[in-house]
Structure 1
Amino acid sequence: MTFFDSVTSLRIENLSLWIEIIAAIVGSIYFYKYKETYLKYFLIFLWYIAFNELLGRYLAEILGEYNLIIFNLYLLINFPFLFSIYRHFINNKLHRRIIFYFIYSYILIFIFNGIFFEDYEIELVTYPFIIGSSFLIISVIFYFIEVLNSEKILNITRNLLFWISVGVLLFNIGIIPWIITLEYFAESIDTVNVLSRALIIILNICYIIGFIWSHKMKESE
């Protein structure tokens, strides 16, 4: 990796950290819009992400310690939580049941992979990440199918969950091919890092737009 590439990577990494913090702040400002719904837990999730990133930076840059364990722990929390959001808001019983299986299948795969294949203290989760992302894409598609077949489609862009879903879908569709690439071409790790940070920026911009643009939500929505 050239010096220019290293500087670019650092700038994108810093920007992605700041955009995560900004998303949590904006989410706090507009909390009144969704505090009566299940998405109230989403704000806690965003602050956890921001804190986790800061802790990871501190461990790696100040203490010189491995920080992969806290990011892998985040992945154990991230997917089941996002699955739970879609299971809560989707009404179709079959889709809700499938997402229920997604949650427990992912957790079991994550644990099994950590016991037999990857050391989560020194290796970034790969196979469970790919599986979790695939499950999440399907969950988002379930949500969009339901919205397209309901009156919600009329004001969909003013719905916070819509913008969360757009960000989640773009991020996971974008990251899967590069995680697969990382698995087979270790030298591409810097490229993957830059791409993942760019996708994180897009993801959180979608969150911010949702917080600002959405109408106040009720639990029935």
Structure 2
Amino acid sequence: MNDFQEFVSKSMLWFEGLAAVVALFHYNTVKKQYWKFFVFYLVFIFLCEAFGRWGNFIYFSKAKYYNYFVMPAQFIFFYWLYAAKSLGKPKLFLILSLLYLFSFIPNELFFSESKIIFAFNYTFGCLILMLLIVMEYYKQITSQNILNFGRNRMFYINLGVTLSYIGTLPFFAFYSPLRKYLEIWNVYFDYFLISGVIMYILFSISFIWGKQSS
């Protein structure tokens, strides 16, 4: 990484921590709602990322830690938040989560040469998330409270997830081939880092400005 990328990478970790602190500060206002699990999620992700940066990887590699644990936890949580809670479709959550988990099978059988990023698995997980994002946007656009979108917590979360996960989909889907074109790879990597920072800022804003009561 160059100096700019190193700076933004460190900044993203601290913005993750900031989002966790902001969420904890608002915990009492959401502790009787399902949003308390979003608080737990932000704390969990910050701890995972902190371990990813400073932890000791003796018994397993950092790549396995992210591919088999951190990324699946993120995808499944967002499937739950979108499908089961925001869209009110718990069966859809179960179906999509199972489909995502099953994607590890072809990944192991046909894409085992991918050592850093499980491109197939990540791409499939993002495509599922994209479907839920579109459904959420449709729900927000057709809502009677569309003029009060600034008070909708899911508006900020959906925007952040769109910019980060969907915006970086081409980067991770073609991660290995792009390594041969370092200039293009660096542009995508810069976007990945910057969009990550913006996403966690939006997560923080969702607690500060979002007043969704359920």
Give the TM-score category using the shorter length. 0.7 to 0.9
1:105 equivalent in structure 2 = 99
Determine the structure 2 residue equivalent to 1:169: 162
Closer, same or farther: CA 59–118 of 1 in aligned 2, 3 Å: farther
Amino acid at match of 1:89: S
The Cα RMSD (Å) is 2.4
SS at match of 2:28: helix
Q: SS state of the match for residue 12, structure 2?
A: helix
Provide the C-alpha distance between the structure 2 equivalents of 1:90 and 1:154, rounded to a whole number of angstroms. 19
Shift of 1:39: 2.0
Equivalent position to 1:77, from 73, 82, 93: 73
Q: What is the CA–CA distance in structure 1 between the aligned matches of 2:76 and 2:105, rounded to whole Å?
A: 13
| 1:42 counterpart = 2:51 | no
Q: Secondary structure at the match of 1:211?
A: helix
Counterpart in the other structure of 2:63? 68
Structure 1 counterpart of 2:95, one-letter code: Y
Is contact 2:160-2:203 (8 Å) kept?
yes
Contact 1:163 1:209 in 2 (8 A): yes
Q: Which residue is equivalent to 2:149?
A: 156
Of 124, 127, 138, which residue of structure 1 is paired with 2:117? 124
Shift of 1:173: 2.5
Q: Report if aligned partners of 1:178, 1:192 keep a CA contact under 8 Å in 2.
A: yes
Q: Structure 1 stretches (4+) deviating beyond 4 angstroms?
A: 96-99, 189-192
In 1, Cα distance between the equivalents of 2:197 and 2:111? Answer: 31
TM-score (norm 1): 0.83
Q: TM-score, normalised by structure 2?
A: 0.85
Matched, 1:57 2:43: no
Change (3 A) 1:49 1:28: same
Letter in 2 for 1:124: I
> Does residue 90 in structure 1 map to residue 94 in structure 2?
no
Task: Return 146-155 or 182-191, whichever deviates more.
Answer: 182-191
Unaligned 5+ runs, structure 1: none
Deviation of the 1:109 alpha carbon: 0.2
> Contact 1:13–1:194 (CA<8 Å) still a contact in 2?
no
1:130-209 pair list within 5 angstroms: 130-187=123-180, 188=182, 191-209=187-205
Task: Give % identity.
Answer: 23
Q: Is 1:25–2:17 an aligned residue pair?
A: no
* Stretch deviating more after TM superposition (170-179 or 15-24): 170-179
Supply the AA of the counterpart residue of 1:68. Answer: A
More moved, 181-190 vs 35-44: 181-190
Q: How many residue pairs align between the two structures?
A: 208
Question: Alpha-carbon deviation of 1:98?
Answer: 4.7
Tell me: CA distance 1:116–1:59, structure 2 relative to 1, closer, same or farther (3 Å).
farther
